[in-house]
Amino acid sequence: MHLNRTDARLANNGLPMEIQKLRCRVNYASLRFTAEIEDLGKRVIRILRQNGPFLVLHLRYEMDMLAFSGCTQGCSNEEAEELTRMRYAYPWWKEKIIDSDLKRKDGFCPLTPEETALVLRALDIDRSMQIYIAAGEIYGGKRRMAALTSAYPNV
């Protein structure tokens, strides 16, 4: 069974709370990875363990996440405009006009890759630590990852 658009904002769609609870319970109980994904995950973990300690990060810095949230810190004007166009292209993303600075002040934006590097250094994470980025393509690519890969060359 495939349940459309059940991954976000379950409680904000006007359905009665009992239906929301049931939908959440069904979604949670039905979550299973395919055998191929399970095998891939096991292989990745085995490879990482062979090379010593590692840290897995999900930066939440993909294009769709930034477009949906309206978080544009560190983006060029062109990138911010691209993210806004993407947000308007999806009619089911209800929030269109977003004040990125306010979102950030309220804590609704992910750390940028540059800020992530600062946090890891502040936590005294060893520079030689393997870091696996468990995410899609980082928005801004190598330019945005430069500070993190410079501080932690084993990304």
The pLDDT, as a whole number, for residue 26 is 83
Percent of the chain with pLDDT over 70: 92
Helix (H) or strand (E) holding 138, with range, is none
Q: In this structure, is residue 25 part of a structural domain?
A: no
Q: In this structure, is residue 73 part of a structural domain?
A: yes
pLDDT digits 0-9 by tens, 45-55: 999 999 999 99
Q: Does pLDDT of 123 surpass 60?
A: yes
CA distance 119 to 129: 14
Q: In this structure, is residue 105 part of a structural domain?
A: yes
Q: In this structure, is residue 16 part of a structural domain?
A: no
The pLDDT, as a whole number, for residue 9 is 53
Domain that holds residue 119: 34-151
Q: Does pLDDT of 2 surpass 70?
A: no
The pLDDT, as a whole number, for residue 8 is 53
In this structure, the dihedral spanned by the alpha carbons of residues 80, 86, 89 and 93, taken in order and rounded to 10 degrees, is -90
Which band of pLDDT confidence, cut at 50, 70 and 90, is reported for residue 5? low
Q: In this structure, is residue 21 part of a structural domain?
A: no
| Residue written as token pair 């309206």 | 70
pLDDT digits 0-9 by tens, 63-98: 999 998 899 998 999 999 999 999 999 888 888 888
DSSP tag of 130 = E
Look at the chain and report how many structural domains it folds into. Answer: 1
Q: In this structure, is residue 90 part of a structural domain?
A: yes
The pLDDT, as a whole number, for residue 21 is 85
Q: In this structure, is residue 27 part of a structural domain?
A: no
Q: In this structure, is residue 80 part of a structural domain?
A: yes
Helix (H) or strand (E) holding 73, with range, is none
Query: Side chain identity at 67, as an amino acid letter?
Result: A
